[in-house]
A and B are shown apart, each in its own frame.
Chain A
Amino acid sequence: MVENDVLDVEAFKAWRSDFADAEFILEDGAYKCGAEVEKMSKSKYNVVSPDLIVEKYGADTLRMYEMFLGPLEQFKPWNTNGISGVNNFLRKLWRLFHDAEGNFVVTDTEPTKESLKTLHKTIKKVAEDIEAFSFNTSVSTFMVCVNELTAQKCNSRSVLEPLVVLISSYAPHIAEELWEQLGHADGVTYQTFPAFNASYLVESSHLYPVSFNGKMRFKVEYPLDMDRAEIEKQILAHEKSVHYLDGKSPKKVIIVPKKIINIVV
């Protein structure tokens, strides 16, 4: 009868005969209840049934959401509002594998460096977190991972397949389904946990913010092993630099390796 601390006045009146004629002092047309956060129990009328959650959002959402509430050993308040966030995350995960029409779009193309980096960063963090029984932080890690892969428009099997295995402990149902769609008949339960490869996390280039007279105009990526002279040569030849130089000659080119480029005009 109460949702987000707002009472369904009609339902309340219908619940017990003594309340049928009750009058309510409304704020903005609604009766706002006071609230206390305490142990969930039948006698306090504050229980939430898992059956309803599973029906409305699915078991995988319930599982991930309960872990997401906070560190396992601490007390956590239940808040049904946060659940749709987790449900949306699983939808996003699904859409990494399917297009808007529902076609399976995983390909065998080579993944980009960024996607491999995202994947291995996730493998490392999730493994560490599960070993440390820090289940709540893994949920965040997965969310960041899926957001990044989505932005990268990654549909490469060599990244998505390990991701399915990775998330199978948390969301086993969707993982099994995706695993099957990836062409496997053996189920995801007894697969091998993805191996973490540190080399994918090594930064090989830097994204330089390029400024003209201190004003940042654009960014460009150069390999870490490129020397100053080469960077200067390349940046001055860059089409955007030509635009901002506007025919003038640069007075000074300041290059701080792995940090910034500033061209004084």
Chain B
Amino acid sequence: MAEYNFNGIEDKWRKRWAKEKTFQVEANSDKPKYYVLDMFPYPSGAGLHVGHPLGYIASDIYSRYKRLKGYNVLHPMGYDSFGLPAEQYAIQTGQHPAITTEENIARYREQMDKIGFSFDWDREVRTSEPNYYKWTQWIFKQVFNSWYCKEADQAKPIETLIERFGQEGNASVKAECDETDVFSSDEWHSKTAKEQEEILLAYRLAFRSETMVNWCSELGTVLANDEVKDGLSERGGHPVVQKRMMQWSMRITAYAQRLLDGLETVDWTDAIKEQQRNWIGRSEGASIRFELESDALSSDEDLEIEVFTTRPDTIFGVSYMTLAPEHEYVSRITTDDDKAGVQEYIDQTKKRSERDRMSDVKTVSGQFTGAYVKNPFTGAKIPVWIGDYVLASYGTGAVMAVPAHDTRDFAFAKHFDLPLLQVISGGNLPHESHDGKVGTILNSDFLDGLEVQEATKVIIEKIEEKGIGYGKIQYRIRDAIFSRQRYWGEPFPIYFEDGLPKAMADKDLPLTLPAVEKYLPTEDGEPPLARAEKWKTPEGNALETNTMPGWAGSSWYFLRYMDATNDGAFVSKEAESYWKNVDLYIGGSEHATGHLLYSRFWMKFLFDMGFVSEQEPFKKMINQGMILGRSN
């Protein structure tokens, strides 16, 4: 060959590698293992552009290098094939998403093959294939059928909880759960099956609850936060309201501390670790209860407002209290004079999304309720306001406001002419609030002269002594919403009996996605699956019509590659004890608080249940920078 005939050479070797399955590996080798993984793509209609293979080329070089160094290298690839674009295309053209997806995958494969990647294609996964999502559904079942035991600091099968209830009731059971009434073992046994099931739902790690969503009746769909601008839908400018909707969630909050601690054990960039730390948002503070005084309450109604605060040391500086407009006591405590103003404010707030309320620091709004609380240490009467900068879903939905030492409280107080009470030395009051956690306490009786840190300890002790609260660690992270009102996603292996969700039997999995005439929500606002004919169990029970979110399939795919064709388990003991976890993960950093957090959560859960032997999915991660195009 006179010239370097790259086309001929490359074609020849592509065929040779495919024919000889050069890159196929097994878990039964004497060689040490090394697992190199690329974040798998959503197979879009546009195909690859040169920016995509950047990470794939780097991981391919490293994989090939490791083979030369004598390792048994697992380097697989697959497709995150459920998702919105194929569904949107289906709505536009009527072509079933599965068909579009198949075509797109073929194109991706063709393009990738041309670049000479050393993938073990026998291990390919596609999240939209029934033999894959059978196991996504199965894992969901495990999550649904478990509870988080705080004493053991791990998840356990729900049977162990039922046993404890039968033996001792729930008073001594320390679990991550919703609020429940206390019951004894006798009381448990005397409850009906339905009552027992309702109680268990408060403990299950996958549960349904009403959450606020952005509902657009014109479009007939729930919108994500970034699809809404100023109370109108981005698409078409239709009105969007905050609506309560029953959605599935997963109790990721139970794992908050372990997700935080685990970051010390992985070789990731500080930037991503910091993003996860902030997202989990651990804060140490106190829960404090304040007695309510309101003309709207009768003399024998003893109500208290509970607040969570990270600055209990500033309790002597509280000059007002702010409740979220949706706080359950608002209607009870608002006096007649203030009822109209309060109701108007509540209605206004409905139009704003939580994200807007949290991030908009410029707009100050609120309403006085006419009610007061008593400062437990000074006895002073503190006015109770409602303000939309407080969210009902975070903490207790009420905050004790110390405008001298908190920027947001300061803005509110300035706007409504509420007093500034300084209790920490230093700063530039009254021109701006003095937020720092550094200084000595003043104007605070027994706390005077103490440094902030010391004062915090002392006040928490006093609060607990008085029986009006306790020291508490709080996390910013919320439970993760786990349902979508879409068609092209995993159906839940759940049916409803007597109004309660029940899991289907293993033998009935996968619950395959049914055919529907249209891929849109129904006229009543039900999800597309509600259009499926006979979407019921053989006994006639209604099946869940929501589908799983995009992160379901990607939260465990790195495990499936270890044992991609096993029909009896999502991964065998042999495979997972050999391959363990990913040694090198290459992909974009934009997944810091989504996929990269959920996959860690699921891995820890599966570890607790004994299905995997590692707690962290990705030992080391590199995030490639984008290739930028030249736009003319």
Chain A interface residues toward B at CB < 8 A: 2, 5, 7, 33-42, 44-51, 53-55, 57-63, 66-67, 69-79, 90-91, 94, 98, 100-102, 130, 133, 135, 165, 168-170, 172-174, 176-177, 187, 189-193
Contact = CB atoms under 8 A, between A and B. Distances in A.
Contact of B111 (A51, A100, A172): A51
Contacts of A193: 65, 68-69
B554 interface: no
Given A173-B13, A177-B12, A76 B53 contact: no
B508 to A, nearest CB: 41
Interface in B585-632: 622-632
A37 B628 CA distance: 6
Contacts of B179: none
B69 A98 contact: no
A51 B49 CA distance: 9
A198 B67 CA distance: 23
B114 to A, nearest CB: 5
B62 to A, nearest CB: 7
Interface in B40-82: 46-54, 57-58, 60-62, 64-65, 67-70
B58 A40 contact: no
Interface string B14-45: 10100010110000000000000000000000
B7 A58 contact: yes
Given A73-B622, A75-B625, A135-B61, A66 B632 contact: no
Contact of B632 (A34, A53, A130): A34
Contact of B49 (A38, A48, A62, A133): A48
Nearest to B11: A173
Interface string B546-567: 0000000000000000000000
26 contacts: A35-B630, A38-B629, A38-B631, A39-B628, A40-B629, A46-B630, A49-B47, A49-B50, A50-B49, A50-B50, A50-B53, A51-B111, A54-B115, A55-B7, A57-B6, A72-B622, A76-B626, A76-B628, A78-B629, A79-B630, A101-B2, A133-B62, A135-B57, A169-B60, A170-B61, A190-B67
Given A36-B631, A75-B628, A172 B50 contact: no
Given A59-B116, A66-B53, A45 B10 contact: no
Given A100-B2, A189-B23, A189-B67, A63 B627 contact: no
Contact of B625 (A58, A62, A76): A76
A78 B627 contact: yes
Contacts of A187: 16, 20, 22
A130 B62 contact: yes
Given A67-B61, A78-B51, 19 more contacts: A39-B626, A40-B629, A44-B629, A59-B114, A59-B115, A63-B60, A66-B54, A75-B625, A78-B628, A90-B6, A100-B2, A102-B3, A133-B622, A168-B64, A169-B68, A172-B64, A176-B9, A177-B9, A189-B68
With most chain A CB atoms within 10 A of its CB, the pick from B3, B22, B65, B629 is B629
Contacts of A174: 4, 6, 9
B118 interface: yes
B115 A48 contact: no
A215 to B, nearest CB: 45
Interface residues of B, number: 51
B624 A72 contact: yes
A16 B157 CA distance: 64
Contacts of A176: 9, 13, 16
Contacts of A191: 68
Contacts of B631: 35-38, 44-46
B4 A90 contact: yes
A21 B118 CA distance: 51
B115 to A, nearest CB: 5
Contacts of B23: 189
A73 B10 contact: no
B1 interface: yes
A38 B628 contact: yes
A40 B632 contact: no
A42 B44 CA distance: 12
Contacts of B632: 2, 5, 7, 33-36, 46
Contacts of B629: 37-41, 44, 46-48, 78
Contacts of A102: 1-3
A165 B6 contact: no
A78 B630 contact: yes
A169 to B, nearest CB: 4
A62 B112 CA distance: 12
Interface string B121-165: 000000000000000000000000000000000000000000000
A135 B58 contact: yes
B115 A50 contact: yes
A59 B7 CA distance: 8
Contacts of A77: 627-628, 630
A80 to B, nearest CB: 9
A73 B626 contact: no
Nearest to A95: B4
Given A38-B631, A49-B50, A61 B64 contact: no
Contacts of A72: 54, 58, 622, 624-625
A121 B455 CA distance: 63
Contacts of B57: 63, 66-67, 135
A91 B68 CA distance: 24
Q: Which 6 A-B pairs have the closest CB atoms?
A: A46-B629, A58-B6, A102-B2, A40-B629, A33-B632, A169-B64
With most chain A CB atoms within 10 A of its CB, the pick from B13, B23, B62 is B13
A257 to B, nearest CB: 41
A179 B249 CA distance: 55
Nearest to A45: B631
A81 B54 CA distance: 18
A39 B65 CA distance: 30
B48 A49 contact: yes
A4 to B, nearest CB: 9
B604 to A, nearest CB: 27
A191 B7 CA distance: 24
Contacts of B68: 165, 168-169, 189-193
A172 B13 contact: yes
A6 B538 CA distance: 67
A5 B624 CA distance: 27
A204 to B, nearest CB: 30
A61 B10 CA distance: 11
A172 B2 contact: no
Contacts of B116: 59-60, 63, 172-173
Contacts of B13: 172-173, 176-177
A37 B68 CA distance: 38
Contacts of B2: 98, 100-102
